[in-house]
Structure 1
Amino acid sequence: MIRTVALAISLLLAAPASAETVVIHAGRLITDASRNATGPATITVTDGRIASVSDGLTPPPAGARLVDLSQKTVLPGLIDTHAHLAGDPGGDFWKQAVETDDYAALIGAKNARLTAKAGFTTVRDLGSTAGGGFALRDATAQGVIPGPRVVAAGQGISIIGGHGDVTGFRPDVTKALEGGNTCTGAEQCAARVREAARAGADVIKFTATGGVLSQQARGLGQHFTDAEMKAIVDTAHSLGLKVAAHAHSARGIEAAARAGVDSIEHGTFADAKAIQAMKASGSAFVPTLMAYVGIREGLAANAFTPAVAAKVRMTLDEVGKAARAARAAGVPIVFGTDSGVYAHGRNAEELGEMVERIGMTPREALASATTGAAKLLGMENEIGRIAPGYSADIVAVAGDPQSDAAALRTVDYVMVRGREIE
């Protein structure tokens, strides 16, 4: 009898949920950021996917649930291609020696919800604890916690003692905290990529240059050799994985682009040669302008050690200059914010930064956070548009984000994979 009941329960739990149909009435509808809004319109969502999009406000069929957004602008969910869900700004660097990976996962769950509530239905998490990013990815995919779709890199790959490695501690503490994510030489760097793929990485992230917020005090110059970068990129591409390169200095950016990276992150000091290398390789530029907002705020609050503060000051006068030049040269500019350097949930402020500092129009900035970001992720047939067959990643706002970059700072409705985010 007990076995029979247990079998019945297991079969019930394993059975797929019946498909739910949700009908959304949109007052104005942006199906693609490059196209003018239309409306009123009706979107039908079945089992997490967009089943149809039609003109006019069509009554829902029997058994369907109606979501009335007839006074709102409805558009595709936004995509942040540079996030760190498990990190919050302002913490002292030594806390990595006392805070557990379990605690970081809980912080990540908190920030996943904040990010989704802000209208971001997909994020590329470019650096977490060894398994934390993958756990967040799986938990949000299964609906265990509310949050965006997560494309996870896991730990970034670093040189020994460089940005992304453990620095700032006495040697025995450093040894205890090492994460096994460093490499020296092309062969070992290729092995790190294979290990990341085995662990479940969706994308490979490596630190081509020094970084601003790490305790290493050797500036922002090139870290990996050209041969090491080539080994990382070639190995990742052979495994079907795209590669994001954290890069600040001009020569580090140029070397990473020549190696064939899919995106340059930050790109602060890119010069004409670096930009030409990016254009030649087809590398996208993710300028993460909100990161500089975050570090400017941290500097004002005296939150940094002297080594970090010196690097912060190096960057602040350069914000947006390289991205403006890259855009003029025809390099794709893709939305990404470096959330975690500033407070999560403020991601949409990047749109205004892109307009002000790079010279993009609000429509172009919106496209960079939808269709442009989807293309960089290789998901242009899944997300970034409202169209039949696409994932039901849908947001609604009161204003017009195609003409006003600030319209997305307040989001009134969010759906991720057909699930509403409360």
Structure 2
Amino acid sequence: MVGKLHLAAAALAATTALMPHATLADVTLVRAGRVIVDASKPALGASTIAVRDGRIVTVAAGNPDARTLVPDLKPDEPVKEIDLSSKTVLPGLIDSHVHLSSDPGTPWWQEAVNSDEYATAVGTKNALVTVRAGFTTVRDVGSAKNVGFALRNAVRDGVVVGPRILAAGPGISIIGGHGDVSGFRREVIDVLSGGNTCTGAVECAARVREASRAGADVIKITATGGVLSQQARGLGQHFTDDELKSIMDTAHSLGLKVAAHAHGAKGIETAVRAGVDSVEHGTFVDDAGLKVMKEKGTYMVPTLMAFTGISERLGKGVYTPQVEDKIRQTLAVMGKQIAAAKRNGVPIAFGTDSGVFEHGRNAEEFGLMVKYGGLTPREALSTATTGAAGLLGLEADVGTLEPGKSADMIAVDGDPISDITQLEKVRFVMASGRVVPMD
């Protein structure tokens, strides 16, 4: 019994060392060399950001003392100062499309072997890696059963270190579509099914309500075929028009946005007409789809790093032949959806599809958006701050460094507005006012 108690104490100590509460002072003064308050505006010079109880109190020029910055500071209230005078400080980054409980290159058949509990452990690892990379908010748009919700709550409650998480749970799919279990014997599929498939408007409405009951922050649907699923029927539309309308009406009546995985042009246009809030991937979007997206204010979430991750494993025996065929189709048009969205005035939100590639590499998406999508570094940064905040409905809380907002900020050595790759080398992270351990 004594041995078990010692082990439990050691485990608790190790966990506490990683808990964000361990580095939280009541008042923190961040002394920055320069500050990007809003990606759309010029940077400020040397400034001090005052943080109290996880919220930004003020952003002031120079290095004023704590009493000036926090007039109601109590005499015995602790004040911590962080010297980032050689760094550029900017808002914490937002990734609108992640899969924290997945790792790249995992054989497709492993879903019949690994448990949901194991997936949660993988997600805990990846949550820490992700926040250390500077992403203080993410939207997890696909996980097994309650895994995404467990991770969200564990981060929220300070049990593990990670970004703020909006979780969808399992994506809603047609039977046999991208998002359903496939590639196994029928009896194995029956065991592995996540109860996330539907046929007809009534069943699809039920799946949305069940997701809401389970605690979903957003509804994810697979509106078209997918690249990595074990079905070889292309990337076209999956749900019927009536099914899509039922999903949108039900989700929106519950106050939930809908994110639609969509590759094929017709599937994109149909999903947007039905009322989806964001198109995830948008690979083969055409002028008709872009026109409707502009009219409805639908966001494009391009996920170019997904194409990078799968291309790195192409021809190495990781993917089945039907998957490799779909991969080659998508690689031929990589980035064109970004340029088209920009040209047509469609809002763009940053998303990577991490889990298809290694978590922590999320910021490589910025360089791809500039290289293949034709965005400027400032435009690319905006997609991961104000753009993504708008999509997620969190613009009152994150996306800029302003009084009253959550103290989510990162620091880099150089100027990401002139060199976007600086965001791949984050030196400091504060998430909800808590300093994240970087090693």
TM-score (norm 2): 0.91
Aligned partner of 1:209 in structure 2 is 224
Specify which of 70, 75, 82 is matched with residue 67 of structure 1: 82
Aligned partner of 1:38 in structure 2 is 44
Which residue identity lines up with residue 280 of structure 1 in the other structure?
E
Specify which of 23, 35, 53 is matched with residue 59 of structure 2: 53
How big is each residue's C-alpha offset from its partner over 1:79-123, in whole Å with a ceiling of 9 and x where there is no partner? 000000000000100000000000000000000000000000000
Aligned partner of 2:355 in structure 1 is 340
Aligned partner of 2:13 in structure 1 is none
Q: Residue 60 of structure 1 contacts residue 66 of structure 1 at CA under 8 Å; is this kept in 2? A: no
Secondary structure of the residue aligned to 1:299 is coil
Specify which of 308, 327, 339 is matched with residue 312 of structure 1: 327
Residues in 1 aligned to 2:27 and 2:372: alpha-carbon distance in whole angstroms:
42
Aligned partner of 2:240 in structure 1 is 225
Specify which of 34, 38, 56 is matched with residue 28 of structure 1: 34
State, as a whole percentage, how many aligned pairs show the same letter: 61
Q: Residue 189 of structure 1 contacts residue 231 of structure 1 at CA under 8 Å; is this kept in 2? A: yes
Residues in 1 aligned to 2:338 and 2:106: alpha-carbon distance in whole angstroms:
29
Residues in 1 aligned to 2:170 and 2:151: alpha-carbon distance in whole angstroms:
14
Structure 2 counterparts to residues 18-417 of structure 1, below 5 A? 20-60=26-66, 63-417=78-432
Aligned partner of 2:70 in structure 1 is none
Secondary structure of the residue aligned to 2:314 is helix
What's the CA shift for 1:59?
A: 3.4
How big is each residue's C-alpha offset from its partner over 1:294-346, in whole Å with a ceiling of 9 and x where there is no partner? 11011043310111111111111011112211210110111000000000000
Q: Residue 44 of structure 1 contacts residue 50 of structure 1 at CA under 8 Å; is this kept in 2? A: yes
Q: Residue 224 of structure 2 contacts residue 235 of structure 2 at CA under 8 Å; is this kept in 1? A: yes
Residues in 2 aligned to 1:383 and 1:222: alpha-carbon distance in whole angstroms:
34
How big is each residue's C-alpha offset from its partner over 1:1-27, in whole Å with a ceiling of 9 and x where there is no partner? xxxxxxxxxxxxxxx999711110000
Residues in 2 aligned to 1:87 and 1:330: alpha-carbon distance in whole angstroms:
33
What's the CA shift for 1:143?
A: 1.2
Residues in 1 aligned to 2:389 and 2:194: alpha-carbon distance in whole angstroms:
30
Residues in 2 aligned to 1:23 and 1:282: alpha-carbon distance in whole angstroms:
38
How big is each residue's C-alpha offset from its partner over 1:126-184, in whole Å with a ceiling of 9 and x where there is no partner? 00111010111111111110100000001100000100000000111111111100000
Residues in 1 aligned to 2:390 and 2:113: alpha-carbon distance in whole angstroms:
39
How big is each residue's C-alpha offset from its partner over 1:24-81, in whole Å with a ceiling of 9 and x where there is no partner? 0000000000011112000111111111111001234573000000000000000000
Which residue identity lines up with residue 332 of structure 2 in the other structure?
D
What's the CA shift for 1:216?
A: 1.0
Residues in 1 aligned to 2:244 and 2:198: alpha-carbon distance in whole angstroms:
11
Q: Residue 210 of structure 1 contacts residue 220 of structure 1 at CA under 8 Å; is this kept in 2? A: yes
Structure 1 stretch 125-134 or stretch 59-68: which is displaced more? Answer: 59-68
Q: After TM superposition, which residue ranges in structure 1, 4 or more long, deviate above 3 angstroms?
A: 16-19, 59-62
Q: Runs of 5+ in structure 2 lacking a partner?
A: 1-20, 68-76
* CA RMSD in angstroms, aligned pairs only: 1.3
Q: Residue 233 of structure 1 contacts residue 261 of structure 1 at CA under 8 Å; is this kept in 2? A: yes
